[in-house]
Amino acid sequence: MNNIDIAVIGGGINGSSTALHLAKNGLKVCVIDKDSICRGASGVNAGTLTMHMTRAKLIPFAKKGWELWMNTEKWLSNNIDVKKKNGLCLAFTEEEEKLLNERSQIRKEYGADINIISKSEALKIDPNINNKIKCAAFCEMDGYVSANQTGDAYTKALKENNVEIVENFEVSKINNLNNNYEIIDLHGGKINAKKIVLAAGVYLEKILKLVDINIKIKCFPQQLIVTERMPELLKTVITVAHGKLSLKQFENGTVLIGGGWPGKGNIENGYNETIPENLIGNMRLACHAIPNLKNSRVSRVWLGLEAETDDAMPIIGELPNLKNAFIIGSIHSGYTSGPYMGKLLSEKILGNDVDLSLFDIRRLMN
């Protein structure tokens, strides 16, 4: 493979979005993945596009990401299901009511159009919710994506834009030659590119070591639960004040229960397993929010690995002390913001004036 302008290492939502925007600007791009496009967290996350769970400082970016998701046919492809829904964030106790008021206020200050509504207003919007709620926060900017289709949609879009896709290529070495990077995989395969973008999700720590940068990337294995197909059980995307639940019903009738309840996971050998007590806790919270949910059956449980830096903020931008090397990752609510963050980084790479100072990796290096 020759004349590659930019090689993106990691074909998740961040890497693939960056690659796609770069290719649309005429660059010759290749995306490398140890598995296949969006087969990690990007393809197995809950697909929630909510402001209620987004970290306050990232709200402006999540809003832009949300807009992109609502218009996938314009920039991605038309074979991914995205639905706009109203979002309700519920409070069940006085303590939670206080927390919800505080948090919604801060998110509002960062630009989210969130308003506190009364119990009766909330029940009017979605009569399925538990009538024991104290109050709710309402936001029109909510919805979901069928995340399992992410790989299909991005593969199609990348191919249409002539991006080279190199799958099953596990990078083991990166050589920085004169104005050129040589990327080598476990089996000795080689790819040369003028610039590189590191977008390896939870594996970023390992990949950064290959270019002599040592920072800590934490890995959170999160459990997801899905029910069998059911008649209508809820109309909105449901979250809760303390942020430990996301709940939505897809068009096919399945209800997805998420909220970041941890399982066990090991990025070294890819082994992961669920923690039954945490599954049950997550299910109880879901059934408390939507009482009728308890009449359904769980059909599948799985895990996704979320990456987080020490200060829980993303790393996006240029890598220090290296020429033509960039990074993108550890974005909280990354599925919502990923498409926009990728676009931002592509603009930076293209030489446009983009302020990414909030996400500079140097803050994490000592």
Instruction: Say whether residue 294 binds other proteins (CB under 8 A).
Output: yes
Q: Which two tokens stand for residue 124?
A: 């009017």
Binding to other proteins by CB under 8 A, coded x per residue (else -) over 134-163, reads --------------xx-xx--xx--x----
CA distance 83 to 359: 29
Nearest to 33, CA basis, from 145, 138, 168: 168
Near other proteins in 248-267, by CB under 8 A: 252, 254, 260-261
Using the rule CB under 8 A, give the single segment among 3-11, 36-44, 113-121, 345-353 that binds other proteins.
36-44
Residue 30 β-bridge partners: 7, 164
Instruction: Say whether residue 281 binds other proteins (CB under 8 A).
Output: yes
Near other proteins in 46-65, by CB under 8 A: 53, 55-56
For residues 307 and 204, is the Cβ–Cβ distance under 8 A? Answer: yes
Nearest to 45, CA basis, from 154, 163, 174, 146: 146
Q: Residue 311 gets which letter from DSSP?
A: T
Q: 141 vs 54, 111, 150, 228, 364, CA distance in Å?
A: 12, 11, 21, 27, 32
Q: What minimum distance in Å lies between the beta carbon of 85 and other proteins?
A: 20
**Amino acid of residue 220:** F
Torsions phi, psi for 118 (to 5 deg): -80, 170
Using the rule CB under 8 A, give the single segment among 5-13, 114-122, 280-288, 341-349 that binds other proteins.
280-288
Near other proteins in 158-187, by CB under 8 A: 159, 165, 167
Instruction: Say whether residue 93 binds other proteins (CB under 8 A).
Output: yes
Task: Kindly list the residues in this chain that would bind other proteins in the complex (CB under 8 A).
Answer: 36, 39, 43, 53, 55-56, 92-93, 96, 99, 103, 106, 148-149, 151-152, 155-156, 159, 165, 167, 226-229, 241-244, 252, 254, 260-261, 271, 273-274, 276, 279-281, 283-285, 287-288, 293-302, 312
